[in-house]
Amino acid sequence: MNNVLKATAFQLPGQVSRYQGKVRDVYTLSNKLLVMVATDRISAFDVVLPEGIPYKGQVLNQIAAKFLAATSDIVPNWVLAVPDPVVTVGKACEPFKVEMVIRGYLSGHAAREYAAGKRKICGVSMPENMKENDRFPEPLLTPTTKATEGHDEDISREEILAQGLVSKADYEAIEKYTRALFKRGTEMAASRGLILVDTKYEFGKADGKIFLIDEIHTPDSSRYFYLEGYEEHQRKGEPQKQLSKEFVRQWLIENGFQGKEGQKVPEMTEKVINDISERYIELFEQITGEKFVKSDALDAMERVEKNVLSFLTSL
C-alpha cells in the first residue's frame, strides 16, 4: 500500500546521521537541525509490530504540532516547521536520559502494578482502595529511563539525581514544566469532551537552554478517556471508552502477546489494521475538533522527500 510509510532512507543535504526509532526516522543535519519523519510503524510493549497503520504518522505529527504550538508559552520547544503532514523540522537538542511520565488516573502500567499488589511506583505512593481508572488525588510523576534499545524502566526522582542522569536544577525545571503541560493538556482535552489520563514528555538542552522535544499529547504518548460516561462506567466497574494505544495493547494481550521472550505477534489482518487506523483518525478529530484530511497517498515516500528538500533549500 503506497499510503503506508514504513521506513525512509533519504540522503538529505548536510546529513550527518540517520536514526531509526520505534516509530520515527530522525535525520540530523550539519546545521544542527533535526528532520523527524513520523512513519506508520506502530509499537507496543517496546516491539515494532510487523504491519504499518495507514495515516498513523500523519495523525501523530499533526496532533503533536498543534499541541506544541499551544504550549510554547509554557516551555520553548524544538519545532521550526512542519513541511509535510508527517514531517517536523526543528532544533537538534541533547535529550535528557529520562522521560517524564505523569499520571492523573490509575490506568495502564500503573493499574497493572497496583493489581500486582504494589502501592508505590517510581518511589511515589499510590492510595489504598483504588479501582482501575480511578482519578488520583493529585497527578503522579512517574519517570522512566530512556532506553535506546529494549524496555524503558521505572525510576524514582531520587535515583535520577543519585545517578546524575539529570542535574537537580534541570530536574526541578522539567518537573515544573511537566505539571504545567499536563494541566494545559487536561484543559484542552476537557474542552473537547475528553479526559487526558496520562502522558509523557521528553526534554533536551541546546545552547544551555531546556526545550520540550519529540511529540506531545498524541495517542502514542498519551491515554484519553471520553468524559461523557466516565463516572457511570466507574460506578458499574466497566471498562472506560478510551482513545489511546491501550486498545492495541489489550488486543495483543488477549492474543497472547506482551513482548516477552518466546511470544509471537498475532496476525494483523486487514480488518485489525483498518480498525487501528480508524481509531487514530477518531482521536485526531476528537482532540483537535478538526476534520482529518488524508494526505496525498499516491506515493508517500516521494511526496515526503520532495517537501523536505523544498523546505531545506528555502532556508
Average pLDDT over residues 27-53: 93
Q: Pull the grid cell for residue 270.
A: 486487514
Question: Alpha-carbon dihedral of residues 301, 306, 311, 313, nearest 10 degrees?
Answer: 130
pLDDT at 2 (0 to 100): 53
Average pLDDT over residues 106-128: 96
CATH for 191: 3.30.470.20
Q: Is residue 177 part of a domain?
A: yes
pTM over cut 0.85: yes
Cα distances from 47 to residues 149, 180, 269, in angstroms, run 10, 31, 18
- Non-local (6+) Cβ contacts of 83 within 8 A are 89, 307, 308, 310, 311
Q: Cα(193)–Cα(305) distance, rounded to whole angstroms? A: 37
Question: CB neighbours (10 Å) of residue 286?
Answer: 15
Q: Is residue 102 part of a domain?
A: yes
Segment 198-248, tens digit of pLDDT:
999 999 999 999 999 999 999 889 999 999 999 999 999 999 988 778 789
Q: Is residue 281 part of a domain?
A: no
| C-alpha dihedral, 196 to 292 to 298 to 50, nearest 10° | 20
Please report the pLDDT score of residue 297 as a whole number.
64
Q: What is the pLDDT of residue 151?
A: 63
Task: State residue 247's pLDDT score.
Answer: 81
Residue 188: domain span = 95-244
3-state DSSP assignment of residue 79: strand
Highest mean pLDDT among 13-17, 45-49, 249-253: 13-17
Q: At what angle do helices 56-70 and 270-288 cross, to 10 degrees?
A: 20
**Of the listed ranges 83-92, 173-182, 257-266, the one predicted with least confidence:** 257-266
Residue 123 placed within a domain? yes
| Contacts with 246 (C-beta within 8 Å, 6 or more apart), sequence order | 107, 108, 223
Residue 165 domain-assigned (yes or no):
yes
Residue 179 lies in a domain: yes
User: What helix, strand, coil percent values describe the chain, rounded to 5?
Assistant: 30, 25, 40
- Mean local confidence (pLDDT), 132-152: 87
Instruction: Count the neighbouring beta carbons within 10 Å of the beta carbon of residue 199.
Output: 26
Decide if 146 is inside a domain: yes
Total of domains in the chain = 1
Q: Is 191 helix (H, G, I), strand (E, B) or coil?
A: coil
Q: Assign 14 to helix, strand or coil.
A: coil
Q: What is the dihedral of CA 12, 19, 83, 186, to 10 degrees?
A: -170
DSSP track, 54-67: TTHHHHHHHHHHHH
pLDDT band at 148 (very low <50, low <70, confident <90, very high): low
